[in-house]
């Protein structure tokens, strides 16, 4: 990794192991231009690539058409309203009501390491592990400083970008849009990849051509959302899983976002990402600064899979923190689908007793243990134990569970309040609301206004009191509604536009306080399933509940979409009850186990009630988890076939970093008559290494059990047709 500055040409060059990124300062106005992003180059004089002298866009002092220049030049970051008519990344409103803003390079700093972003999640690394370039730019009229940061890593090709705005002027200014990153480049017939979904079917992969105009994905729901995802990639048409150019941006943030590709009149593209400008307006007093969240930019020449593996490594090493960062997680059993709200101490203990005998390591008590919460109509905010349900109290239950040799975990939804709660009755103004309007309910609840310090402190003390009261070793932090009716009784009129972002900052602050006071806690974020599965949350919790749909077949595509960016170690995945509570499908218990193995692994069922045959399989699944989890958590992930595309089968693989072993998961979703065996190519192995199928007994149809890595990759292996729908198998390959 290296960052250099060629003073003569005024070119910055950032080199990761396989990529180069070049920025040029041009013209007497010191515009910051984008020159190149792609495969690693040794040459640093790329100034000739900048189209500064192509008529009619001549930026000379005497013969300039500034609007034409600004509207075509490839920028690193943009101002607004002065001639660049493409999507802007920074917009302001002065006290005089004007919106023009521009930026010119002033100075720079290159340093070892990477600074924290105050109050925000961000990637990190030691001084020996990363380097940062900080470009300080200024609007010469407003005296607004715009500091662009770029950090690179010794062991990864990602570039982490962020932007800080400092008001160096004489009066306050309103920031009405601050995106975090912009990449301008020539189009190359790109296709855009994005993730879309809904409740219970999050993050389906979508690919579409990049066309003239703007194509965007976004959330204005106050969270990253089930619907869209703060991720965007653009790749050449011919790019495959294994080969070809792909670029990507992923936002380390959990609130409103905009991610967009715009193709302009000259066939250039501008890709931007940042906080969505809708309902955003931040008042910056003189001398104050605003820090925009981080965007991870990636280029890979090794196809979609190359991009994925870079993201996984980056997040495992430089984003996820805490005690469980590199540790196997306890196998948990959660009572949500087992009991919903209908449980008591005895019921939970009966589940725990049975579970502990089967090798399950932690009981998680889900929603319904507090206030008078017997359905979802009440009590959020009243975090006192319901002793009618939990006779003897929480500590008694936890101690009894601990006596069984199991850990205990609890569900919380700290950001919310039910209208039918003591908290709301005492403080109706603590909910986010617009005065004079009847608030819009979602799941019968309102969102607490965490922008107010007294509300944050109250919420923190409530949850900390619960955690201090017993030996609680895991928290599932849920958020079951999106934001609406944006209004705060605590913010002045000209700061209401800060609410969305301040609310996200408040959630980060609460999780930061909690993980500091309880450093041994395993935190799992959740939002009505997987609506807040994002890089921001991963900074606080090493795992996130992927989706409320735990059906093994639905999970194939949900987990494939999630794993496009996020490591398998982060995906909350459980074996759930059948018929599945969301789609009614009946799948074999074995297959449910194989699919959950690709995530954190656990159970979401009443283990005392499931068929004995299934229950008897649990010890085997537990052993399988212990056998494979190090590999699944730490290995390189390869997508081989996606059921969402081929409608027949799904296949993926995890290869150990030293290529000594690999685990292939194969799920034949639908049985078909008169089928040949399926030729499956298994990549990522050492080409000349000899691999044996370690669990050959599970593949009686396959006679040959030993292959060279290259043979498995290029020629493949024939997987026999399996009888029945929803049939899964694992293949464990070991290098001899
Ligand atoms: C949504 C979560 O995704 C579920 O697992 C469960 O915890 C419910 N909320 C409880 O209300």
pLDDT in tens, 255-312: 999 999 999 999 999 999 999 999 999 999 999 999 999 999 999 999 999 999 999 9
> Residue 63 — very low, low, confident or very high, per pLDDT cuts 50/70/90?
low
Residue 117 in this model has a pLDDT that exceeds 60: yes
Spatial distance between the Cα atoms of 398 and 387, rounded to a whole number of angstroms: 14
Mean per-residue pLDDT for 626-645? 97
CA distances from 573 to 158, 200, 329, 468, 534 (A): 27, 13, 12, 28, 16
CA 581 / ligand 1 centre spacing (Å): 13
Spatial distance between the Cα atoms of 58 and 67, rounded to a whole number of angstroms: 10
Active site residue 548: yes
DSSP structure string for 382-431:
--SB-TTTSTTHHHHHHHHHHHTT-EEEEEE-TTEE-SSSHHHHH-GGGB
Residue 59 in this model has a pLDDT that exceeds 80: no
Q: What is the pLDDT of residue 64?
A: 59
Nearest to 339 by CA among 312, 372, 301, 368: 368
- Annotated catalytic residue within 157, 245, 313, 478: 478
**Exposed, middle or buried: residue 554 (CB in 10 Å: 0-12, 13-18, 19+)?**
buried
- 366 close to ligand 1 (CB < 6 Angstrom): yes
- Annotated catalytic residue within 139, 313, 367, 548: 548
- 548 close to ligand 1 (CB < 6 Angstrom): yes
Residues 180-220 pLDDT 10s: 999 999 999 999 999 999 999 999 999 999 999 999 999 99
Q: Which pair of tokens denotes residue 442?
A: 């979602």
- 334 close to ligand 1 (CB < 6 Angstrom): no
Residues 676-714 pLDDT 10s: 999 999 999 999 999 999 999 999 999 999 999 999 999
Q: Would the pTM of this model clear 0.95, i.e. be above it?
A: yes
Spatial distance between the Cα atoms of 202 and 644, rounded to a whole number of angstroms: 13
Q: Which pair of tokens denotes residue 453?
A: 């310090």
Region label for 158, one of left (φ > 0), alpha (ψ between -120 and 50) or beta (otherwise): beta
Half-sphere exposure of 523 (CA within 13 A, CB side): 28
Q: For 287-361, where are the E strands, in sequence order?
A: 289-291, 294-300, 332-334
Mean per-residue pLDDT for 449-471? 98
Q: Whose Cα sits closest to atom 11 in ligand 1?
A: 367
DSSP structure string for 662-678:
EEEEEEE-S--SSPPPE
Residues 140-180 pLDDT 10s: 999 999 999 999 999 999 999 999 999 999 999 999 999 99
Q: What is the pLDDT of residue 403?
A: 98
Q: Which pair of tokens denotes residue 189?
A: 């017939």
Given a contact cutoff of 8 angstroms between Cβ atoms, the answer to whether 71 and 85 are in contact is: yes
List residues bridging with 4 in a β-sheet. 13
Neighbours of 300 (CB within 10 A): 26
Nearest to 256 by CA among 285, 293, 289: 293
Measure CA 308 to chain center. 12
Q: Which pair of tokens denotes residue 137?
A: 């730019």
The dihedral over CA atoms of 707, 713, 716, 717, expressed in degrees to the nearest 10, equals: 50
Spatial distance between the Cα atoms of 146 and 31, rounded to a whole number of angstroms: 13
- 478 close to ligand 1 (CB < 6 Angstrom): yes
Spatial distance between the Cα atoms of 653 and 269, rounded to a whole number of angstroms: 34
Spatial distance between the Cα atoms of 227 and 231, rounded to a whole number of angstroms: 12
Q: What is the pLDDT of residue 52?
A: 83
- 337 close to ligand 1 (CB < 6 Angstrom): no
Residues 6+ apart with CB under 8 A from 76: 23, 32, 33, 34, 135, 148, 182, 184
Q: For 31-189, where are the E strands, in sequence order?
A: 31-39, 90-93, 104-112, 130-139, 144-153, 156-167, 173-186
> Residue 58 — very low, low, confident or very high, per pLDDT cuts 50/70/90?
low
**Exposed, middle or buried: residue 296 (CB in 10 Å: 0-12, 13-18, 19+)?**
buried
Nearest to 441 by CA among 427, 457, 420, 472: 420
Which residue among 374, 409, 480, 600 is best mutated to probe the pocket of ligand 1, counting the most ligand atoms within 8 A of its Cβ?
480
**What does the angle CA 577 – CA 588 – CA 617 come to, to the nearest 5 degrees?**
80
Neighbours of 724 (CB within 10 A): 10
Angle, nearest 10°, between helix axes 345-358 and 393-403?
A: 20
Q: Which pair of tokens denotes residue 543?
A: 């795992």
Q: What is the pLDDT of residue 66?
A: 79
> Residue 55 — very low, low, confident or very high, per pLDDT cuts 50/70/90?
low
Let me know how long the chain is: 736
> Residue 57 — very low, low, confident or very high, per pLDDT cuts 50/70/90?
low
Give the atom of ligand 1 at the shortest distance from the alpha carbon of 545: 3
Given a contact cutoff of 8 angstroms between Cβ atoms, the answer to whether 15 and 23 are in contact is: no
- The 3-state DSSP class for residue 535 equals helix
Phi, psi for 319 (deg, rounded to 5): -130, -45
Which residue among 334, 340, 366, 475 is best mutated to probe the pocket of ligand 1, counting the most ligand atoms within 8 A of its Cβ?
366
- 411 close to ligand 1 (CB < 6 Angstrom): yes
> Residue 731 — very low, low, confident or very high, per pLDDT cuts 50/70/90?
very high
Residues 653-673 pLDDT 10s: 999 999 999 999 999 999 989
Given a contact cutoff of 8 angstroms between Cβ atoms, the answer to whether 229 and 195 are in contact is: yes
22-31, 87-96, 538-547: which has the minimum mean pLDDT?
22-31
The answer to whether the peptide bond before residue 56 is cis (omega within 30 degrees of 0) is yes
Spatial distance between the Cα atoms of 308 and 478, rounded to a whole number of angstroms: 27
The side-by-side arrangement of strands in the sheet containing 31-39 is 2-6, 11-15, 19-26, 31-39
Q: Which pair of tokens denotes residue 54?
A: 């192509």
Q: What is the pLDDT of residue 28?
A: 80
Neighbours of 584 (CB within 10 A): 9
């Amino acid at each position: 990794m290296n960052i250099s500055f060629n003073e003569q040409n005024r070119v910055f060059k950032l080199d990761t192991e396989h990529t180069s990124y070049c920025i040029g300062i041009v013209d007497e106005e010191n515009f910051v231009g984008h020159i190149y992003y792609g495969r690693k180059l040794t040459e640093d004089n790329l100034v000739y690539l900048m189209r500064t002298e192509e008529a009619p866009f001549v930026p000379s002092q005497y013969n300039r058409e500034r609007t034409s220049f600004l509207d075509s030049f490839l920028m690193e970051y943009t101002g607004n309203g002065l001639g660049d008519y493409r999507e802007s990344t920074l917009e302001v409103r002065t006290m005089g009501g004007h919106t023009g803003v521009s930026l010119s390079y002033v100075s720079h700093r290159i340093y070892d390491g990477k600074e924290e972003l105050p109050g925000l999640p961000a990637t990190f690394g030691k001084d020996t592990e990363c380097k940062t370039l900080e470009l300080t730019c200024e609007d010469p009229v407003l005296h607004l400083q715009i500091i662009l940061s770029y950090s690179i890593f010794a062991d990864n090709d990602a570039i982490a970008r962020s932007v800080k705005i400092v008001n160096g002027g004489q009066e306050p200014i309103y920031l009405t849009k601050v995106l975090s990153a912009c990449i301008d480049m020539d189009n190359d017939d790109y296709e855009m990849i994005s993730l879309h979904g809904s409740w219970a079917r999050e993050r389906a992969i979508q690919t579409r051509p990049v066309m003239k105009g703007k194509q965007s994905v976004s959330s204005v729901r106050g969270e990253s959302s089930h619907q869209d995802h703060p991720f965007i990639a653009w790749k050449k048409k011919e790019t495959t899983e294994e080969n070809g150019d792909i670029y990507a941006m992923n936002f380390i943030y959990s609130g409103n976002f905009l991610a967009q590709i715009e193709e302009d009149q000259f066939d250039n593209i501008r890709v931007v990402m940042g906080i969505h400008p809708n309902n955003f307006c931040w008042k910056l007093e003189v001398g104050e600064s605003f820090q925009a969240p981080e965007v991870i930019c990636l280029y890979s020449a090794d196809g979609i899979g190359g991009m994925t593996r870079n993201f996984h490594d980056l997040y495992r090493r430089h984003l996820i923190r805490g005690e469980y960062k590199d540790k196997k997680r306890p196998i948990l059993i959660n009572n949500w689908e087992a009991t919903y709200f209908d449980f008591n101490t005895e019921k939970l203990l009966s589940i725990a007793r049975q579970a502990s005998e089967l090798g399950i390591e932690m009981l998680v008590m889900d929603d319904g243990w507090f206030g008078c919460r017997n359905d979802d109509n009440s009590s959020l905010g009243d975090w006192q134990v319901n002793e009618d349900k939990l006779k003897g109290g929480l500590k008694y239950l936890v101690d009894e569970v601990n006596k069984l040799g199991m850990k205990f975990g609890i569900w919380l939804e700290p950001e919310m309040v039910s209208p039918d709660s003591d908290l709301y009755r005492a403080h109706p103004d603590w909910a986010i609301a617009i005065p004079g309007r009847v608030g819009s309910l979602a799941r019968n609840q309102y969102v607490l206004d965490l922008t107010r310090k007294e509300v944050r402190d109250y919420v923190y003390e409530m949850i900390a009191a619960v955690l201090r009261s017993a030996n609680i070793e895991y928290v599932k932090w849920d958020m079951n509604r999106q934001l609406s009716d944006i209004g705060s009784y605590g913010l002045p009129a000209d700061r209401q536009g800060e609410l969305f972002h301040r609310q996200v900052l408040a959630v980060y602050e609460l999780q930061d306080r909690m993980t500091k006071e309880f450093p041994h806690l395993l935190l799992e974020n959740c939002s009505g399933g997987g609506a807040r599965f994002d890089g921001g949350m991963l900074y606080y919790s090493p795992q996130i509940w992927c989706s409320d749909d735990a059906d093994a077949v639905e999970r194939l595509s949900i987990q494939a979409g999630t794993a496009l960016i996020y490591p398998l170690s982060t995906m909350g995945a459980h074996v759930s009850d059948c018929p599945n509570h969301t789609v009614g499908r009946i799948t074999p218990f074995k297959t449910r186990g194989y699919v959950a193995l690709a995530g954190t692994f656990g159970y979401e069922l009443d283990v005392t009630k499931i068929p004995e045959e299934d229950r008897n399989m649990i010890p085997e699944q537990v052993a399988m988890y212990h056998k494979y989890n190090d590999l699944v958590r730490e290995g390189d992930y390869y997508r081989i076939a996606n059921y969402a595309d081929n409608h027949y089968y799904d296949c993926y693989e995890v290869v150990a970093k030293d290529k000594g072993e690999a685990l292939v998961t194969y799920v034949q979703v639908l049985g078909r008559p008169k089928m040949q065996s399926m030729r499956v190519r298994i990549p990522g192995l050492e080409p000349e290494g000899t691999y044996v199928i370690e669990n050959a007994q599970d593949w009686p149809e396959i006679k040959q059990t030993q292959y060279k890595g290259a043979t498995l990759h290029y020629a493949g292996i024939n997987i026999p047709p399996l009888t029945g729908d929803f049939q899964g198998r694992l293949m464990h390959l070991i290098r001899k």
